[in-house]
């Protein structure tokens, strides 16, 4: 695609609170940003900064209180574009009686991928994530890291134009993290777009073309990583130090 992969314009989101839903908790305040197509875009911020709320709005899992969002050139209310999106969540809730092969076939059908294409992709994806030898084992026998690897394969079954990764390294070992970085780079090389939500700062610095930083629901920085790490005097600061300054907390 030639236009942006995602556009947020003056997005604000309030959640109802209290037993009667009369209270309000603001998660995101007047956020505007554009995710260019064909890039890896990092979404960063401390806990409760509003990152997952933006992801949920993009995926039509919740609606903004005000503002507008486009996904792959169409309003997010147009659910037809969801078939071109892949999503990796940090905590999967797969039916544990299914096998990996059956799960991928199921998600392929949900994404309206022709069955013959799904049958061809399943063994390739399971091999790619290192699960080909467990293709017919029930998911209930899997560790968290293996389930996360399966989640990566599930997100790729529809060959998505937009891949959304929300803390994708949760439960992965070092080899799994290298696998994830490799897949991110492969998607970019193919001209696909990746939105990466992560607290693993070295990996974000390695693969992201641009980043957006949220603090307390507000956008405090948007641009290339180099613009964040370059000080007003031209000196280059460590990535974690620059982020800590934005977060208002000392670097670890």
Instruction: Look at the pTM and tell me if it is higher than 0.85.
Output: yes
Q: Provide the number of structural domains found in the chain.
A: 1
Asked if residue 47 lies in contact with residue 214, where contact means CB atoms within 8 angstroms, the answer is: no
User: Per residue in 105-130, pLDDT tens?
Assistant: 999 998 999 999 999 999 999 999 99
Mean of pLDDT over the chain: 91
Provide CB contacts within 8 A for 94, sequence distance 6+: 103, 139, 147, 150, 151, 154
Q: Is residue 35 part of a domain?
A: yes
Please report the sign of the dihedral spanned by the C-alpha atoms of residue 134, residue 86, residue 222, residue 3.
Answer: positive
pLDDT tens readout for residues 180-209: 999 999 999 999 999 999 888 888 999 999
Query: Domain containing 50: what range?
Result: 6-247
Place of tokens 């147009």: 78
Edge-to-edge strands of the sheet including 6-17?
Answer: 23-35, 6-17, 66-71, 74-75
Is 1 part of any domain?
no
pLDDT for 251 equals 46
Instruction: Determine the Cα–Cα distance for residues 24 and 204; give it in Å rounded to an integer.
Output: 33
Q: What is the CATH number of the domain that holds 168?
A: 3.40.50.300
In a domain, 100, yes or no: yes
Looking at residues 127-154, what average pLDDT do you find? 94
pLDDT reading at 215 higher than 90: yes
Q: Give the contacts of 28 (CB within 8 A, at least 6 positions apart).
A: 11, 12, 13, 50, 53, 54, 64, 214, 217
């Amino acid at each position: 695609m030639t236009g942006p992969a995602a556009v947020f314009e003056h997005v604000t989101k309030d959640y109802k609170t209290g037993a009667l839903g009369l209270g309000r908790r603001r998660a995101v305040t007047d956020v505007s940003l554009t995710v260019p197509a064909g890039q890896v875009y990092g979404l960063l911020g401390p806990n409760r900064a509003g990152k997952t709320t933006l992801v949920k709005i993009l995926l039509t899992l919740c609606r903004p209180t005000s503002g507008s969002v486009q996904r792959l050139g169409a309003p997010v209310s147009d659910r037809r574009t969801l078939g071109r999106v892949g999503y990796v969540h940090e905590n999967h809730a797969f039916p544990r009686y299914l096998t990996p092969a059956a799960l991928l076939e199921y998600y392929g059908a949900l994404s309206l991928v022709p069955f013959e294409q799904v049958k061809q992709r399943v063994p390739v994806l399971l091999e790619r994530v290192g699960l080909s030898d467990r293709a017919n084992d029930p998911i209930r026998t899997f560790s968290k890291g293996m389930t996360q690897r399966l989640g990566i394969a599930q997100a790729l079954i529809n060959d998505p134009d937009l891949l959304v990764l929300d803390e994708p390294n949760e439960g992965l070992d070092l080899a799994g993290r290298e696998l994830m970085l490799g897949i991110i780079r492969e998607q970019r090389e193919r001209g696909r777009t990746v939105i990466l939500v992560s607290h693993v700062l070295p990996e974000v610095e390695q693969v992201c073309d641009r980043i957006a930083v949220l603090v307390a629901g507000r956008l405090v920085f948007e641009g290339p990583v180099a613009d964040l790490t370059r000080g007003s005097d031209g000196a280059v600061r460590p990535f974690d130090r620059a982020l800590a300054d934005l977060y208002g907390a000392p670097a670890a």
